[in-house]
Each structure stands twice: as C-alpha cells, then as structure tokens.
Amino acid sequence: MKALAGLGKTDRARLALVLRGTKGTISVSEAAELLGVPNNIAAKLLSRWAQAGWLSRIRRGLYIPISLESRTADIPLEDPWTVAARLYEPCYIGGWSAAEYWDLTEQIFRTVLVMTTRKPRQRKTKIKETDFLLRTVSDKALFGLKPVWRGQVKVNLSDPARTIIDMLGEPRLGGGIRSATDMFVAYLKSEKKDLGLLLNYAEQLGNGAVYKRMGFLLEKLGHEDETIIKRCQEKLTTGYAKLDTSLPAEKLVTRWRLWVPERWLKEIPVDK
C-alpha cells in the first residue's frame, strides 16, 4: 500500500494546474502543454507525483488523479467508463454494460464491455481491479450511440435499440442468448421500444443473423406485431445461423434458417 506523500510549493502549483486542465485522465502530452515544458520533463513530473501517491498510473504515459479523501494510491477506478473512453477511442460502451444503464436487466455484470474500432492484443484486460472486455467493430458500426456525461467527460453509449441489435448479432454481448432474450423482452415492454428503429439499425449493421434471431424470438414470444416479423422474413439471408454459437443446436428451424437448442422449441425461454 502506497501512502500519500507531501509536495513542495512548486509541485503543488504545477499539479493543481494539470488537474484543473484535464478531465478524468492525464496524459504526458496534456501535462506538457499545460505546464509549457517538453514531454520528457512532463513525464518525469507525472511519474514523481505518482510515486508520491497523488496520481495513479493506469498505463504507460497515462494517469488518473487520486481523491484528496483517499489515504492511499491503491484505489479502484472511480469511473471505468471514462478510462475506457480515453484508452480505446473511438469506442462506445455496449452490450450488457449499456443494458444495465438503460434498465433492461437486473443482472450485475462486473466486466465493462467496450466496443472499439481498435484491435487490441488482449481482448480481456484488468485496470485497477476493473475488468474490461474489448470487442472490435468497424468505423461504419459507430451509429445508434448516445453521448452521456460522466462528470466532465462525455462517453458514447449504445442507445437502447442499438444495444438490442448488437446482442441479437452476437448474443455473447448480452451474456448469452437467454440473458440477451430477457433484455430483449424488457426492451419490448419498455417505453424505449421502437420497432422501426430496430429494423433500421439491423439494416445498417448488415448482419443477416440479426433478422433470423429477431424473427424467431418475436414469434416464439408471441409478439402481436406481424409487420416486423414479416420484415424479418423478407430480409433473411442465405445460409444458416445458430441461435447462440456457444450452445449445442440440434434442431433446424427452416422458416428462420436458424439452428436452435431443442428445448427452445418446447418452451418459451423467458417469462412474457
């Protein structure tokens, strides 16, 4: 455990200037610009302040401030979303993390799901005891996003319809098809429901499996709107998909060109 150490008058003034001029995270280049010093000098200052316990290093050249109320620098991230927005931009918070924000699930997911255009070497990473799961998306997939403010930092988040479409495209983003279906049902019951927007996003995403899963689930759930089910039928692509690629699928539903677990044909998988 690293205790906080005192700073001299000059260092206190410099640190205060840097903290006022940054939002949540502090990079070497930002500190250098604010202090009017070369990058190498700024790097040494940030490192020294981190050693003294006033900053915490989250990766090479990037730091977060330590709250004055903290008695140690060994602290968890105050807001993992702001750190993710900085580390993995362009990106958005999606999947189960977005579903939690939009009240589409009561489950608690301890891993932050980040959809990024970057191609990180490690898809799973831990920063200050917070787990992150990274999924790579194309630049064209950065749509259906809602900016939300986390303190002074603006973070992109998938809106409710985009959250559902992402999970229909890849059920693992919802924690698996059963959990993703629960969230889909919650969406259909909520004031956030917008079937036209769902279809628009499905077309923009361009993933044929979305229509297969969406149409199958809507029929299975006994959804009353035949228009959207018919639209899903019209948009079916050739080839077959699985309801959930992580589950065994013994039965082929030819109407939806979808392989599904046998038990899903016998019972509705969620409470209506």
What are the structural domain ranges in the chain?
9-65, 80-265
* Average model confidence (pLDDT) across the chain: 88
Task: Give the residue-averaged pLDDT of 6-10.
Answer: 74
pLDDT of residue 74 exceeding 60: no
Task: Give the residue-averaged pLDDT of 148-165.
Answer: 94
Kindly compute the dihedral angle of the four CA atoms of residues 254, 256, 259, 265, in this order, to the nearest 10 degrees: -90
Task: Give the residue-averaged pLDDT of 78-90.
Answer: 91
pLDDT of residue 135 exceeding 70: yes
Share of the chain above pLDDT 70, in %: 92
pLDDT of residue 22: 84
pLDDT of residue 121: 84
Q: Which CATH number fits domain 9-65: 3.40.640.10, 1.20.120.640, 1.10.10.10, 3.90.1150.10?
A: 1.10.10.10
- Using DSSP's 3-state secondary structure scheme, residue 202 falls into helix
User: How far apart (Å, rounded) are the C-alpha atoms in residues 95 and 180?
Assistant: 9
User: How far apart (Å, rounded) are the C-alpha atoms in residues 103 and 105?
Assistant: 5
pLDDT of residue 68 exceeding 60: no
Q: How confident is the model at residue 271 (pLDDT cuts 50, 70, 90)?
A: very low
Q: Does the pTM of the predicted model rise above 0.85?
A: no
**pLDDT (tens digit, 9 = 90+) per residue, 226-265?**
889 999 999 999 999 999 999 998 899 999 999 999 888 7
